[in-house]
Structure 1
Amino acid sequence: RIQVLEMEQAEKHLEDIDNSTSNYIDGSTNELSDASAIKVRVSDKNVLIKILCKKQKGLMSRIYMEMEKMNLCEVDVRVMPFGSDALDITILAQMLSELCVTVKDIVDHLEMAFLSPPHHDKQD
């Protein structure tokens, strides 16, 4: 009974959003689309971010900038190549401020990192 209550409580505190509405990989040509897939989960002050995207120069610095704007502190970041021209990025972060950032806000800010032009003075 206690485990059931703990799981129900955990589910209440867990917010989840997935903005990947289209297929990231085009099965007919096996080419990456320009779209990215961003999934965000929030539990209390902990934030788990999963991103599958096309490789871009300066992308990680733009992601870090957007996270800083939202007062998110990176606890752990994993970047792995996925195929020859894609990245699988997993970020574990914590909210620093008392202002709670919504999952939609996080996704919107991270999408800005993909829309911003790459900085030519930085390399990832």
Structure 2
Amino acid sequence: MRCVMAKPGLVHPKMLDMLGDFFDSSCTIQEYTETQDEWGEPIQTWVDKIGHVDIPCSIAPSGGQEVKKADMTYVVSTHYIKLKGYYPEITEVMRAVVAGRNYDILLAGHDSRAKTTRLTVEVVR
């Protein structure tokens, strides 16, 4: 009997449903908005995007790097967030919130069957 290995990263969406713990977190997508206070001064804030709250997800680190400047050093840490479902409205000007931590969205993509959404994100510090 011959064993054939699947290509890495190719998983049928129905297989994900069988893995109860695959989407072990939840994600909320937020949009940046500007409103005005009672004196007409601008207030800048993030608000939950309608229809994009508590989406089942999984999150994993993808790497990071240390950036050194003349007056400071900081760490850029990136992650992948896999969302259960197809969310074509998500763009790079939004952010994701998982377990109370904020992530800037760097790239949003989808699988070929439009069943999952993959976000490449950066930790907001």
TM-score range, shorter chain: 0.3 to 0.5
Tell me the TM-score normalised to structure 1 length.
0.33
Q: Choose between structure 1 and 2: higher helix proportion.
A: 1
Query: Could you tell me the TM-score, scaled by structure 2's length?
Result: 0.33
Larger Rg: 2
